[in-house]
Structure 1
Amino acid sequence: MTKDTIGLGCPQFKIAVYIANRPEIEPYSFLDSLISVSEGEITHIGTHCGNGWRKVFNVYAKLLYALDKRHFAEFQTAQTWQQYREQSLLQTNSKTALLFSPPQLGLDDDILHIICGRTYANELQRSAKINSQWVWLNEEFAVDKKNQLIVCPYFDYRQLSNIKIEFLTQLILSLRHRESE
């Protein structure tokens, strides 16, 4: 993490999700740094910013909760993904972040980067805000193994369904497994 990192989450994040938009209420709409959320804050954002933000947080929590517990036990701290979302996601010591700034690749090889949406990923690459050589696996998912980066559909139930979340968990596991070999 650098001083240019903007978003919500733990300063020592190990999984960073990058999204093109941000909640349109203060203080989030004017953030210029990374801040951890407190318990109940995700619900507050969802209530005031609409169903789209509830979906983003729900899909993020479902994704982390679906990861293989043998390799990602730190994200299995609650009995359900809903409890995990409310009690841990994006909070201090969660090791998770939702970032509104572009990925900063190469600073920490232990960070997994996930860009939400093909359009946003291509925009980042066209504007030279990211230097990555990802390979498209299909129309919706791309991987850059060297930089521990995945491009996936936007965090929305229709775009990133449960079946696609499962596919994404397998991609994450394959990157982490490769890293530990």
Structure 2
Amino acid sequence: MINLWLGASASDAQYVFLLPNKPILPDDVDEVFLAKPDSAVLIELNGNHWRKILTIIAKLIVQNYPAWRECRDVNVFNQVGIAFSVDQLNDYKGILFVVGNTFRDQLPVSKSAEEAGVKHRAYVSYPYIWCPYLDYRQFPNILIETLREYILEKKCLTL
């Protein structure tokens, strides 16, 4: 599973999150599960850590913010692909969230990137968004709201 990819494929995903840590997967994992992971199963196997990851992803990408729980639990993987290495991104043309600092040497923050946030920051240079790790200590709701406002205002998430 070196090239593990979860969710929508590179050709179908509207958003890809490049994460440094792979989740624990079911013993009987198959291509169907990888293409459309069950959020509840991921949360059950990985606990609060992956609940936070999927919650922040849903809050960032959902069009109707109050519906983020439904997005997380039912259809986040219709729009989102999750990659775990830079070499998986060769065919991807949409919005890429570079999560945490692990990949910053391979995908450095662009000098033209605009800063979003104050205490906790994300950087945006379409089609890239460099953001903190998807944990509330590093990526609190205020940053989610700030980044969503920025994204919606700049319309940088519309392809």
Provide the aligned length of Structure 1 versus Structure 2.
149
C-alpha displacement of 1:167 = 1.4
- 1:63 and 2:45 equivalent? no
Matched, 1:121 2:103: yes
CA-to-partner distance for each residue in 1:51-73, whole Å, 9 max, x for gaps? 111110111112222x4x5xxxx
- Coordinate RMSD, CA, aligned: 3.3
Structure 2, unpaired ranges of 5+: none
The structural deviation recorded for 1:144 is 2.5
8 Å Cα contact 1:142/1:150 also seen in 2: yes
Gaps of 5+ in 1: 70-75
1:96 to 74, 80, 89: 80
3-state SS, counterpart of residue 16 of structure 1: strand
Tell me, yes or no, if structure 1 residue 45 matches structure 2 residue 29: no
Q: Stretches of 4+ moved more than 4 A in 1?
A: none
CA distance in 2, matches of 1:158, 1:131: 23
Post-superposition CA distance 1:100-146 (Å, at most 9, x none): 122636852xx0111111x2232xx2xx4x4763536266322233x
| TM-score, length of structure 1 as denominator length | 0.66
Write out aligned runs for 1:24-173 (5 A).
24-26=24-26, 35-38=34-37, 41-65=38-62, 67=63, 80-90=67-77, 94-102=78-86, 104=89, 108=93, 111-117=94-100, 119-122=101-104, 125=105, 128=106, 130=107, 133-134=110-111, 135=113, 137=115, 140-145=121-126, 148-173=127-152
Instruction: Name the CA shift for 1:35/1:157 in 2 (closer, same or farther; >3 Å).
Output: same
Give, as a single letter, the amino acid of the residue that structure 2 aligns with 1:60.
Answer: I
TM-score by length of 2: 0.74
